[in-house]
Amino acid sequence: MGSFWPSLFNILLLLSAAMIFGGIAVRLRQSAIVGYLLAGTILGPHSLNTVMQTDTVEGVAELGVALLLFSIGLEFSWTRLKQLGKTAFIGGALQITITTIVAAIIAFCFNTGIAASIAVGAMVAMSSTACVLRTLSDRAEVDSVPGRLSLGILLSQDIAVVPLVILVTALGTINAYPKAVPSDQYTVIQAPASNQQLSAPLTETTSNAPIHTDTHIVQILGEITFQLLAAGLLIGIFLLLSKKVLPRIVTMRTISNTRELPILFALVVAAGSAWLAHQLELSPALGAFVAGVVLGESSLATQIRSDVGPIKTLFVTLFFASIGMLANMSWIVEHLLLLIGVTAGIVLLKILIIWLVERIMNVQHRHAIATGLCLAQVGEFSFVLAITARGSSPDNALISENLFNLIVSVSILTFFITPYFISIANPTGRWIEFQLRKHRLIRTPSKNLRGGESDTLADHVMIVGFGPAGQEVADLMRAIEERVIVLDLNPMTALKVESQGMLSQIGDASSHEVLEHAAVHKAKLLVITLPDHRAAATVIRTARHLSPDLRIIARARYHVYVSELENAGSNRVIDEETAVGKELADQVKQEMGLDFTA
């Protein structure tokens, strides 16, 4: 009992520092996560060493990771992924696979073992869901093309965390077996000491004896089989609970009529699933994720997300602060050039791979590059993989302390630059695409109209974007027999437009070539229904430059962007918030039988 209050004091101290530095980071237009990391770094054992009982903090932080994955599991939806398109499945899988393989090959070239190289590749492949989505949300860019592409890849990465944790754990188990054999029976590989350069060669003492005996190979295969069976058992247990037990619990009047019980139920399931996975020698995060997915299908999912949210925030804050405690400032100063070089290499590698993957998905260069800039960091779950790879003892350590320090330091540094990269993502993508096209390194996209001929276009209505808003406008234009051309980036949209007897053009409406080929100078009206205000403003400016007298109507998702679209050149801007407010007021008047006309 006596150790409880010192532990509580350490947690309160860490949370207080996280609150202060998190607030400072937000004022500096950084992610609050950066502040949490700084708080842990300053109070950690390698700086002020104020937080003494680090084991307690790390245990609480591990629970925070489990709750984070539990909440992700609650929001996990195959329907949501399908709505994002094939990028979420194929694009996300390609990004993870290619990045892991390339990073592993590079790590192996620097005298890292095969198993450790694969683990490093998996760490580099992850990006930060928390940091990226928070920044995109603050900038109202989640609905932009790079925002939607980033979301699809991030969701795929979140799903991949669980199998990657299992993979790294299995690699650590395999790596541990040779060390259990007497040293005269196998090759002894000694990693460089923590005060040596990372690139120092590995020292080896060899003999003619084989590395593994048949017994050890059987043990390794048995361990892997056990982990797979344990994972299957865990999933089976939760599926059984979801089919047989959960429906009865949800319909219990005691649960539904008492506010406290659903909260307790959510906490018991979240923490209990993590404990059960730990007892099965699996990652607690795996158990929490599976439980979240199972509960996500129930009618309690929304309420559980709400109940767990504040608690998750508390524990996740401790998680990032505890990660900051892992940062070794003296190591960073001593290896500063190495850190900067590796960080630059990883950032460039991830941008190029994501650019390549999105191009395979037929995404335009500007959006592919912007997506790469958004996802160029090393994510929070890379810390989880790094801690797993470091192991609980030197016997099952997959990576050396030097390599661990490098990964943690690179991750923290990339968190710092992420908000700036996202802010320059769209203009950088457009500039690079312009330079590539200018030097004829890429072809200009096809300008062929679908469903008709471009030379007959005149006095037509142009609609940019064919979501629900665009479809409403198109239905009206067809009803009054106006000629319509729809511009959209999605090829599937073009097929839908043509099936309704309208013209379509696949392309980016902010491009001069696309608008010119759609005869913008002959159009009578341009209607822009894009939810992303920055993309809409770019289209308005381009169209206004090509056709100064064109009538333009644009959609503003939020009231604060109305003036920006008007200044860009739109004749009229439809304010969604004002329009919804008027509709709500009209409905209230009807329900209450009010009549102000008299």
Helix (H, G, I), strand (E, B) or coil at 526: strand
pLDDT at 352 (0 to 100): 96
83 or 63, greater pLDDT: 63
Task: Report the pLDDT value the prediction gives residue 96, as an integer from 0 to 100.
Answer: 94
Residue 113's Cα: distance from chain center in Å?
29
243/246 Cα distance (integer angstroms): 7
- What whole-number percentage of the chain has pLDDT above 70? 77
User: pLDDT tens digit string along 467-487?
Assistant: 888 999 999 998 888 889 999
Q: Is 575 helix (H, G, I), strand (E, B) or coil?
A: strand
Measured CA to CA, the distance from residue 133 to residue 9 in angstroms comes to: 32
Q: Do domains 4-433 and 454-592 have the same CATH topology?
A: no
Q: What is the mean pLDDT of residues 17-31?
A: 86
Give the confidence band of 133 by pLDDT, cuts at 50, 70, 90.
confident
Per domain, the residue ranges of the chain are 4-433, 454-592
Output the average pLDDT for the chain. 79
- 14: tokens are 């860490």
Q: Is the pLDDT of residue 280 over 70?
A: yes
Tell me the mean pLDDT in the region 165-179: 71
- CA 122 – CA 126 distance, rounded (Å): 7
- Check residue 202 and give its pLDDT: 41
Question: Among candidates 492, 578, 563, which has minimal Cα distance to 533?
Answer: 563
Q: Residue with structure tokens 């200018």? A: 438
Decide if 146 contacts 371 (C-beta within 8 A). Answer: yes
Can you give the pLDDT at residue 124? 95
- Give the separation between CA 148 and CA 225, rounded to whole angstroms: 38
| Residue position matching structure tokens 């320059």 | 424
φ, ψ of residue 189 in degrees (nearest 5): -110, 120
CB 276 within 8 A of CB 231: no
Residue closest to 451 by CA, chosen among 403, 503, 416, 493: 503
323 φ, ψ (degrees, to nearest 5): -65, -40
State the Cα–Cα distance between residues 286 and 353, nearest whole angstrom: 28
Range with lowest mean pLDDT among 117-131, 220-234, 497-511, 577-591: 220-234
pLDDT of residue 210: 46
Contacts of 199 (CB under 8 A, 6+ apart): 110, 111
Q: How many CA atoms lie within 13 A of 271 on its CB side?
A: 14
Task: Answer yes or no: are the C-beta atoms of 246 and 295 closer than 8 Å.
Answer: yes
Q: How far apart are CA 372 and CA 370, in angstroms?
A: 5
Residue 259 CB-half CA count within 13 A:
2
Bigger pLDDT: 296 vs 268: 268
Supply 505's token pair: 């053009």
Give me the percent of the chain exceeding a pLDDT of 90: 23
Reply yes or no on whether the pLDDT at 537 is more than 60: yes
Return d(Cα 338, Cα 201) in angstroms, integer: 16
pLDDT given for residue 177 in this prediction: 56
Rounded CA Rg of the chain: 28
Class of domain 4-433: mainly alpha
How confident is the model over 89-112, as pLDDT tens digits? 788 899 999 999 999 999 999 888
Interatomic CA distance for residues 250 and 257, integer angstroms = 11
Which two tokens mark 565? 């679209």
Instruction: Note the pTM of the prediction, 2 decimals.
Output: 0.71
**Three-class secondary structure assignment of 533-563:** HHHHHHHHHHHHHHCCCCEEEEEECCHHHHH
In contact, 162 and 231? CB cutoff 8 Å? no
Q: Is 442 left (phi over 0), alpha (psi -120 to 50) or beta?
A: beta
Q: Is the predicted pLDDT of residue 37 greater than 70, yes or no?
A: yes
Q: Is 189 helix (H, G, I), strand (E, B) or coil?
A: strand
The predicted structure's pLDDT at residue 207: 43
Q: Which of 86-90, 91-95, 383-387, 488-492 has the highest mean pLDDT?
A: 91-95
More confident residue, 63 or 165: 165
Angle between helices 284-296 and 54-75 (to 10 degrees): 30
- CA separation for the pair 388, 187 (Å, rounded): 24
Mean pLDDT across the stretch 282-310?
72
Half-sphere exposure of 332 (CA within 13 A, CB side): 17
Q: How far apart are CA 344 and CA 349, in angstroms?
A: 8
Output the CA angle 568-574-577, nearest 5 degrees: 115
Q: Which residue has the higher pLDDT, 1 or 297?
A: 297
* Mean pLDDT value across residues 56-81: 66
Please count the residues of the chain: 598
pLDDT for position 182: 46
| pLDDT higher than 60, residue 2 | no
Structure tokens at 228: 């797979």
| pLDDT beyond 80 at 254 | no
pLDDT value of position 347: 96
Half-sphere exposure of 549 (CA within 13 A, CB side): 5
Q: How far apart are CA 198 and CA 189, in angstroms?
A: 15
Residue 459 sits at φ, ψ, to 5 deg, of 55, 40
Q: Which of 153-162, 433-442, 536-545 has the lowest mean pLDDT?
A: 153-162
Give me the CATH code for the 454-592 domain, please. Answer: 3.40.50.720
